[in-house]
Amino acid sequence: MQKQPNRVLILFAHPAIQKSRVNKRLIRYISDLEDVTIHDLYEAYPDLHIRVRPEQRLMEDHDIIVFHHPILWFSTPAILKEWQDLVLTHGWAYGQEGTALRGKKLLSVISTGGRESLYSKEGFHKRTLSEFLTPIAQTAYVCGMDYLRPFVVHGTHKLTKEQIAQHGADYRRIITALRDGKVDFEAARGLSRLNLDLNRILME
């Protein structure tokens, strides 16, 4: 009996998508994939009035949740934080009775304007990117989710069209593999980011 594909929910948050060089292109690479839902939070909620129960139902209906956004001042865009504050409620997402998200996987797909070397103990920011993502990793832990290594596009300001296209193709590969259950999660734990070596972790 053929296994059902995992349903993937992309929570996309970019406050200035018209100015985006990378993220608006990345999202196009996965826009036609079956069993993948792209949910643009700024488009859905231009007034920032998030409807909690519909968002919770979306989460319930999907197996893999993706936070796709640029890193802005070392954090998520404001709407994604607002979404977390309102949607991840006690008794639903966490707490003794809050089991709705237990066993689901959470992935961060992020971009940074700065090059990768800036995000290290020796680099300009004096911290790794994983340290800046700690609040999301802890959220996943409290909700009983499995937080994966992130998919990261560094140095967006200087990427060529060819480099952006390669990142887009890699994004499509990882989302397709997650949907089809073809990711070696044990191997992925040894990477700082998923797209450091896709050939090592994808069972295509």
The 3-state secondary structure of the chain reads CCCCCCCEEEEECCCCHHHCCCHHHHHHCCCCCCCEEEEEHHHHCCCCCCCHHHHHHHHHCCCEEEEEEECECCECCHHHHHHHHHHCCECCCECCCCCCCCCCEEEEEEECCCCHHHCCCCCCCCCCHHHHCHHHHHHHHHCCCEECCCEEECCHHHCCHHHHHHHHHHHHHHHHHHHCCCECHHHHCCCCCHHHCHHHHECC
**Average pLDDT value for residue range 122-149:** 94
pLDDT over threshold 70, residue 1: no
For residue 119, give every residue at least 6 positions away whose Cβ sits within 8 Å of its Cβ, in sequence order, or none: 112, 125, 127, 128, 129, 132, 154
Assign 3 a pLDDT band (cuts: 50, 70, 90). Answer: confident
Higher pLDDT, 120 or 195: 195
CATH 3.40.50.360 at 8-201, yes or no: yes
**Average pLDDT value for residue range 99-124:** 93
pLDDT over threshold 80, residue 123: yes
pLDDT for residue 18:
86
Burial 150-164 (b: 16+ CB within 10 A, else e): bbbbbbbeebeeeeb
Among 8-17, 102-111, 125-134, 143-152, whose mean pLDDT is lowest? 125-134
Average pLDDT, the chain: 95
Is residue 97 within 8 A of residue 36, CB to CB? The reply is no
Q: What percent of the chain has pLDDT over 70?
A: 99
pLDDT for residue 120:
86
pLDDT for residue 49:
95
Is residue 72 within 8 A of residue 114, CB to CB? The reply is no
Assign 19 a pLDDT band (cuts: 50, 70, 90). Answer: confident
Tokens of 46: 């231009």
The domain locations on the chain are: 8-201
pLDDT digits (tens, 9 = 90+) for 152-196: 999 998 999 999 999 999 999 999 999 999 999 999 999 999 999
pLDDT digits (tens, 9 = 90+) for 73-94: 999 999 999 999 999 999 999 9
